[in-house]
C-alpha cells in the first residue's frame, strides 16, 4: 500500500502534462519518481511528493561553473538516460549557465549568468565543476576576467544551495596532487563553509540528479556525512556491494592481470583495488545504462578510489587497500589445497615411541614429586623432635 498515493496520481492532469513534456508514458514517469525516492532512501509516500514537485513546481535555476577539470563530470551527465540530458536541463531543471553546453559565448554568456542570478536571487543552485587554484591570488584560472575564487564567491553569495560535483571540486582531486603548483583546492575550502560534495572521477550522474530532485521536492538538500557527501550515495563501502566480494571472503584473488583468477572473476584486492576503503554506490547504480558489469571492477579493472580523499590520486595503483571492515586473514586456504597422504607404518611407530617416552617421563616426574614430598615431611618431623628434646 506504500505506493497507493503515487498510483492515485496517475490520473492527475499535472502528471499527464509532465510525462508528455518528458517524453514518457505516465506509468514510466511515476516509476521514475519512485526510483528516485527509493534511491534517496526516502520514506514511503515520498515518491508522490517527488512526482508532484517535478510536475508542478518551478524548475530550479542552475548556475554551473567550470574551473580546473577535464569536463568529465559534464560528459557523465551527457550519458544519463533516465531522463536524458535534454530532458533534465530543459524539463527538470533550468540550466541557465554552463560554458560547455551554452550556445552563447563571451559577453552574452556572462550576461545570461548575471541575469539568472538576479532573477532567482536566493533560489538558484550553484554547481561547481573542477578545482579552484588559490596560489598567487588565483591567477591560474580566470573566466570573463574574474578569477575562479572571485567568481565562486560571487555566485555562492545568493545561492540557495552549493554543490561541488566531481572529486576536483569536492577536495581538489587530480589538480591538487603533489606538488600542486597552482594551489588547487575544493569549493568548501575556498568558501569557508560546508557544501554538498558529489565526488567521483566522474561521479554517477544520478547522484547529482537525485540531489537536485530532493531540493526541488522538499526545498532542502539530502542528508550528508561529515565530508558533505549525500548519504544515499556514499554511506557504504564499494567493497560491501561488490559482485566479487564472495571471492574475497573465500580467499580467491587475481594475482596478475590476465591470470586464471582474473579471467574467472576473482577478487582484485591483490591487484590494488581500493574498493575496501572507498565509499560510493558504483556497484549498485552502475554507469551508462548499459546493463550489468558496467563499472570498473565489473570490467576487470581495480577501483582506484577516485571518490575518496587521500586514496584516489594519492595512493599508488598497486598499493593494497586498507580494508575498513574486515582484513583477509593469513590462514586462508589456497585456491587448490594440497591433500594429505595419510600416516605410514614408520611414522606411526615413531609417533608411538614419542608418545610412550612422553608418558614415561610424566610418570617419573610424578614419582619424583611424591618422593620429594615424603622427604620434606620426614625432615619436618625430625626438626620438630629435636626441638622437643631441647626444651625438655
> What does the DSSP assignment read for 308-354?
STTTTTTS-TTSPP--SS-PPPTTPPPSSPPPP----HHHHHHHHHH
Statement to judge: residues 228 and 241 lie in one domain:
no
Residue of higher predicted confidence among 173 and 10: 173
Residue 337 pLDDT exceeds 60: no
Residue of higher predicted confidence among 333 and 72: 72
Statement to judge: residues 83 and 199 lie in one domain:
yes
Q: Is 306 annotated as a binding residue?
A: yes
How far are the Cα atoms of 191, 211, 218 from residue 36, in angstroms, in the given order?
30, 9, 13
- HSE, side-chain direction, 13 A CA sphere, residue 291: 0
Statement to judge: residues 65 and 112 lie in one domain:
yes
Task: With respect to residue 38, please indicate whether it lies within any of the assigned structural domains.
Answer: no
**How many domains, in total, are found in the chain?**
2
Residue of higher predicted confidence among 53 and 190: 190
The pLDDT-based confidence of 2 (bands split at 50, 70, 90) is: very low
Q: Is 155 annotated as a binding residue?
A: no
Q: Is 247 annotated as a binding residue?
A: no
Q: What is the pLDDT of residues 12-33, one digit of tens each?
A: 777 777 777 767 777 777 777 7
Residue of higher predicted confidence among 285 and 26: 285
Residue of higher predicted confidence among 334 and 177: 177
Question: Which strands form 161-165's sheet, in the order they lie side by side?
Answer: 94-98, 61-66, 125-129, 161-165, 196-198
Q: Is 168 annotated as a binding residue?
A: yes
Which of 335, 354, 387 is at the close of a domain? 335
Which of 196, 215, 233 is at the close of a domain? 233
Reduced to 3 states (helix: H, G, I; strand: E, B; else coil), residue 220 is: coil
Check the CA dihedral 249-254-255-260 and report its sign.
Answer: positive
Statement to judge: residues 100 and 227 lie in one domain:
yes
Q: What is the mean pLDDT of residues 284-306?
A: 84
* Contact of 247 with 253, CB cutoff 8 Å: yes
Q: Is 299 annotated as a binding residue?
A: no
Q: What is the mean pLDDT of residues 78-104?
A: 73
The span from the CA of 268 to the CA of 274, in Å, is: 9
Question: For residue 42, which of 248, 223, 313 has the smallest C-alpha distance?
Answer: 223
Task: With respect to residue 359, please indicate whether it lies within any of the assigned structural domains.
Answer: no
The pLDDT-based confidence of 6 (bands split at 50, 70, 90) is: low
- All three cell numbers of 25: 508514458
Q: Which residue matches cell numbers 590494488?
A: 272
Residue 34 pLDDT exceeds 70: yes
Statement to judge: residues 171 and 267 lie in one domain:
no
Residue 361 pLDDT exceeds 60: no
Task: With respect to residue 369, please indicate whether it lies within any of the assigned structural domains.
Answer: no
Q: State which residues form the domain around 170.
A: 58-233
Statement to judge: residues 138 and 206 lie in one domain:
yes
Residue of higher predicted confidence among 14 and 116: 116
Where is 184: in which H helix or E strand?
Answer: strand 184-185
Statement to judge: residues 96 and 218 lie in one domain:
yes
The pLDDT-based confidence of 159 (bands split at 50, 70, 90) is: very high
From the number of C-beta atoms within 10 Å of its C-beta (0-12, 13-18, 19+), residue 91 rates as middle
Q: What is the mean pLDDT of residues 326-332?
A: 57
CATH of the domain at 170: 3.40.50.700
Greatest C-alpha distance within the chain: 128
Task: With respect to residue 49, please indicate whether it lies within any of the assigned structural domains.
Answer: no
Using the CB atoms, write b or e for 332-368: b if 16+ within 10 Å. eeeeeeeeeeeeeeeeeeeeeeeeeeeeeeeeeeeee
Statement to judge: residues 174 and 275 lie in one domain:
no
Helices (H) and strands (E) in the chain, counts: 17, 9
What does the pLDDT read at residue 332? 56
Statement to judge: residues 214 and 290 lie in one domain:
no
* SS3 assignment for 20-50: HHHCCCHHHHHHHHHHHHHHCCCCCCHHHHH
Q: Is 267 annotated as a binding residue?
A: yes
Q: Is 301 annotated as a binding residue?
A: no
Cα-to-chain-centroid distance, residue 133 = 26
The span from the CA of 382 to the CA of 379, in Å, is: 5
* Contact of 266 with 244, CB cutoff 8 Å: yes
- HSE, side-chain direction, 13 A CA sphere, residue 149: 15
- All three cell numbers of 51: 512526482
Q: Is 239 annotated as a binding residue?
A: yes
Task: With respect to residue 143, please indicate whether it lies within any of the assigned structural domains.
Answer: yes
What does the pLDDT read at residue 220? 80
Task: With respect to residue 7, please indicate whether it lies within any of the assigned structural domains.
Answer: no
Residue 278 pLDDT exceeds 70: yes
Q: Which residue matches cell numbers 550489468?
A: 292
Q: What is the mean pLDDT of residues 362-390?
A: 63
CATH of the domain at 266: 4.10.480.10
The span from the CA of 26 to the CA of 9, in Å, is: 9
Q: What is the pLDDT of residues 219-238, one digit of tens each?
A: 788 889 999 999 988 999 99
Q: Is 303 annotated as a binding residue?
A: yes
Question: For residue 284, which of 328, 228, 245 has the smallest C-alpha distance?
Answer: 245
> Which residues, 6+ apart, have CB-to-CB distance to 182 below 8 Å?
68, 133, 134, 135, 140, 141, 175
Statement to judge: residues 97 and 217 lie in one domain:
yes
Task: With respect to residue 53, please indicate whether it lies within any of the assigned structural domains.
Answer: no
Residue 67 pLDDT exceeds 60: yes
From the number of C-beta atoms within 10 Å of its C-beta (0-12, 13-18, 19+), residue 50 rates as buried
Which of 319, 335, 351 is at the close of a domain? 335
The pLDDT-based confidence of 127 (bands split at 50, 70, 90) is: very high
Residue 166 pLDDT exceeds 90: yes
Statement to judge: residues 223 and 241 lie in one domain:
no
Q: Among 85-99, 136-150, 173-187, which stretch is predicted with the lowest mean pLDDT?
A: 85-99
Statement to judge: residues 163 and 229 lie in one domain:
yes
Residue 250: asked if its preceding bond is cis (omega within 30°), the reply is no
Cα-to-chain-centroid distance, residue 83 = 23
Task: With respect to residue 302, please indicate whether it lies within any of the assigned structural domains.
Answer: yes
Amino acid at each position: 500500500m506504500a505506493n497507493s498515493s503515487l498510483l492515485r496520481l496517475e490520473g492527475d492532469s499535472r502528471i499527464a502534462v509532465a510525462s508528455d513534456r518528458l517524453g514518457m508514458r505516465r506509468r514510466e514517469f511515476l516509476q521514475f519518481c519512485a526510483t528516485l525516492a527509493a534511491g534517496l532512501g526516502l520514506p514511503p509516500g515520498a515518491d508522490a511528493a517527488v512526482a508532484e514537485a517535478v510536475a508542478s513546481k518551478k524548475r530550479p535555476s542552475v548556475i554551473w561553473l567550470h574551473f580546473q577539470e577535464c569536463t568529465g563530470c559534464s560528459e557523465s551527465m551527457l550519458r544519463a538516460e533516465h531522463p536524458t540530458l535534454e530532458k533534465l536541463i530543459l524539463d527538470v531543471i533550468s540550466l541557465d549557465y554552463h560554458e560547455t553546453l551554452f550556445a552563447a559565448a563571451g559577453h552574452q554568456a556572462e550576461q545570461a549568468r548575471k541575469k539568472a542570478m538576479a532573477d532567482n536571487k536566493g533560489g538558484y543552485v550553484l554547481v561547481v565543476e573542477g578545482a579552484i587554484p588559490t596560489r598567487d591570488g588565483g591567477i591560474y584560472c580566470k573566466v570573463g576576467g574574474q578569477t575562479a575564487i572571485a567568481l565562486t564567491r560571487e555566485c555562492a553569495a545568493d545561492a540557495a544551495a552549493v554543490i561541488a560535483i566531481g572529486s576536483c571540486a569536492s577536495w581538489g582531486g587530480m589538480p591538487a596532487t603533489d606538488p600542486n603548483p597552482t594551489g588547487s583546492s575544493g569549493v568548501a575550502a575556498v568558501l569557508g563553509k560546508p557544501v554538498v560534495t558529489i565526488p567521483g572521477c566522474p561521479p554517477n550522474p544520478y547522484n547529482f540528479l537525485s540531489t537536485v530532485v530532493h531540493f526541488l521536492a522538499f526545498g532542502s538538500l539530502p542528508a550528508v556525512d561529515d565530508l558533505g557527501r549525500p548519504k544515499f550515495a556514499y554511506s557504504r563501502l564499494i567493497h560491501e556491494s561488490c559482485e566479487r566480494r564472495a571471492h574475497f571472503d573465500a580467499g580467491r584473488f587475481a594475482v596478475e592481470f590476465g591470470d586464471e583468477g582474473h579471467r574467472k572473476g576473482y577478487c582484485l584486492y591483490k591487484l590494488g583495488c581500493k574498493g575496501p576503503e572507498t565509499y560510493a554506490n558504483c556497484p549498485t547504480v552502475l554507469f551508462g545504462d548499459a546493463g550489468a558489469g558496467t563499472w570498473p571492477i565489473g570490467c576487470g579493472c581495480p577501483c582506484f578510489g577516485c571518490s575518496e580523499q587521500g586514496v584516489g590520486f594519492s595512493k599508488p595503483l598497486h598499493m593494497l587497500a586498507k580494508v575498513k571492515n574486515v582484513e583477509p586473514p593469513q590462514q586462508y586456504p589456497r585456491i587448490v589445497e594440497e591433500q594429505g597422504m595419510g600416516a605410514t607404518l614408520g611414522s606411526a611407530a615413531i609417533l608411538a615411541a614419542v608418545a610412550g617416552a612422553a608418558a614415561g617421563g610424566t610418570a617419573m616426574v610424578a614419582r619424583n614429586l611424591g618422593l620429594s614430598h615424603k622427604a620434606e615431611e620426614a625432615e619436618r618431623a625430625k626438626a620438630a623432635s629435636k626441638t622437643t628434646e631441647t626444651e625438655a
